Amino acid sequence: MEESMKTIEELGEFGLIRHLTGNIRIKNKSTLKGVGDDAAVLDYGEKLVVVTSDMLMEGIHFNLMYTPMKHLGYKAVVANLSDLYAMNAVPKQIIVSIAFSSKLKLIQIENLYKGIELACKNYNVDLAGGDTSTSLTGITISITALGEGEKGSVVYRSGAKKNDLICVTGNLGAAYLGLQLLEREKKLFLENPEVQPALEGYDYLLQRQLKPEPRADITGYFRKHNVSPSSMIDISDGLSSEILHICNESQTGCKLFADRIPIDSETERLAAEFNITPLVAALNGGEDYELLFTLSPGEFVKVKDNRQIKTIGHITAREDGCNLITHDGSFIPLVAQGWDAYGKRGQD
Ligand code: ADP
Ligand code: MG
């Protein structure tokens, strides 16, 4: 079938972006990196400017039934800052564009801005502009973030080399389970509004879903200890999808070891309740905002004392493919099943 006659759903988010941007040729010398990484990288003299943009749509990315406006504002900023940290850049400014119904109460937008401002305060970022519009179809928040990069220390998805170690920060799958919990309680509430939501005991998972933090501490550690990752990406769409981006851009394969993938005990506990394999949540759940990066063996010694960083595998030759090795030694090819706003998994 001719590509133009396919639906967007058939193409998928990455297929669509590839189709739209595949023929773009860079005209300006200042554009060091255009489409294809966590952020664009611009050269304007001594420093590099690193720029990223992210849009959140009501009904697709968030549900106001269980997302407080303040958390929404905070998370919208975090999603952007995470992409800048993934380039090893330091966030400096954000530009905030919002569209919403004119029937909305002022206090709701005030609360959204409280969240935006809190994230700006916590990560030392200036809110430097934006745009405001009304909307007929719910709230849209689009944020562009700008950061500063040092020449020679910006990290791309494309630098991984065979034998590099694959590392991940924190733990994975918690935000996805937090979302499952909120969705379950929403459904129960809609069936019977008398029922109070049962959210106790899962504070960590709810925090990971509603108020995630980007890993500024890790890039700070890299600077302090002079660590140069060979490649890096943030985990917004699930580990599988992100490691495949690194391997595709770096022209390598990888081996990930299932039993090394860090999963919090609260994630395991709720996964059992939902009959979900925690590993599947870690591989395919989204919104963890952790960092995934590769280190040459020489660089690795510099991070081995950092308890927030776990080694989960290594980079192999392209021909070996991208595989997950289970505890009994079998190889499972990795496939990207992460977040895809056009595909199977928009929130309803
Ligand atoms: P991330 O998950 O890190 O936010 P995305 O998957 O959203 O990255 O985007 C992948 C790449 O495609 C990025 O470099 C982004 O700038 C680019 N991109 C996404 N949408 C568009 C678009 N509509 N036009 C041009 N480039 C885009
Ligand atoms: Mg990213």
Tokens of 163: 């034998």
Q: What superfamily would CATH give domain 37-149? A: PurM-like, N-terminal domain (3.30.1330.10)
* Mean pLDDT of the region 73-93: 98
Q: pTM of the full predicted structure?
A: 0.94
DSSP conformation letters of 181-250: HHHHHHHHHHH-TTSPP--TT-HHHHHHHHS----HHHHHHHHHTT---SEEEEESS-HHHHHHHHHHHH
The per-residue pLDDT for 348 is: 35
Q: What is the pLDDT of residue 192?
A: 87
Q: 216-224 and 69-85 helices cross at what angle (nearest 10)?
A: 30
Which one, of 286, 22, 323, lies nearest residue 174 by Cα? 286
Residue to probe by mutation, ligand 1, list 21, 82, 158, 290, most atoms within 8 Å of CB: 21
Angle subtended at Cα 180 by Cα 157 and Cα 109, rounded to the nearest 5 degrees: 80
Q: For residue 236, which of 223, 245, 248 has the smallest C-alpha distance?
A: 245
Tell me the average pLDDT of the chain: 94
List, for residues 278-295, the tens digit of each pLDDT value. Answer: 999 999 999 999 999 999
Which of helix, strand or coil describes residue 60? coil
Pocket test for ligand 1, best of 33, 35, 84, 340 (most atoms within 8 A of CB): 35
Instruction: Give per-residue pLDDT as tens, 85-117.
Output: 999 999 999 999 999 999 999 999 999 999 999
pLDDT band at residue 199 using 50, 70 and 90 as cut-offs? confident
pLDDT-based confidence at residue 1 (cuts at 50, 70, 90): low
Of 5 and 207, the structure prediction assigns the larger pLDDT to 207
Looking at the CA of residue 13, tell me the nearest atom of ligand 1: 6
Q: In what order do the strands lie in the sheet with 165-169?
A: 231-235, 290-295, 165-169, 309-317, 252-257, 322-325, 331-333
Question: What is the residue extent of each domain of the chain?
Answer: 37-149, 157-347
Assign domain 157-347 to a CATH class.
Answer: alpha beta
37 lines ligand 1 (CB under 6 A): yes
Closest approach atom of ligand 1 to CA 54: 4
- Token pair for residue 278? 């925690």
Are the C-beta atoms of residues 291 and 303 closer than 8 Å to each other? no
Q: How high is the pLDDT of residue 37?
A: 97
Q: How confident is the model at residue 200 (pLDDT cuts 50, 70, 90)?
A: confident
